[in-house]
Amino acid sequence: MVFNVTQGSTVQVIVEYRDASGNLVVPSSATLVMTYTAISGTSASSTIAMSQSNSVFTANWESAQAALGHAAILVTAPGQPSKSDLLRLLNPST
C-alpha cells in the first residue's frame, strides 16, 4: 500500500504482531528502517529503535530530509516476519 505524506511532516509508524491464528505476539524489540532519496539526491536510510507500549510498537520519522518521491518503510522484529509499506512524499504547496 502507498501512503501519501507531505514532505517535511512527521510520519508515525505503528505496528502490532499476530501469529497465524490471530493471537497477539509481543517480540522483544522492533526496528524501523526508512529508505529514501535525500534532498541532496543521494540514497539515504534512517534506522530507528521503536518504542513499545503494551503490544504496540511506534516510531516517528521526520521526512524533512527526504526528497519528493517514494520512501520505503521496513519494520523488523526478532522472530517475526518483516513488515513493509511505501510512502509517497508530496510537495507541501500542492
Q: Is the pLDDT of residue 45 over 80?
A: yes
User: What is the residue-averaged pLDDT of the chain?
Assistant: 95
Going by pLDDT thresholds of 50, 70 and 90, the confidence category of residue 94 is: low
> Of residues 42 and 93, which shows the higher confidence score?
42
The residues near 91 (Cβ < 8 Å, ≥ 6 apart) are 6, 7, 68
pLDDT of residue 92: 83
Domains, the chain? 2-90 (2.60.40.1930)
Q: What mean pLDDT comes out for the span 22-50?
A: 97
93-to-6, 7, 44, 80, 90 alpha-carbon distances in Å: 9, 10, 24, 39, 9
90-to-26, 31, 39, 58, 68 alpha-carbon distances in Å: 34, 25, 13, 23, 6
pTM of the model: 0.91
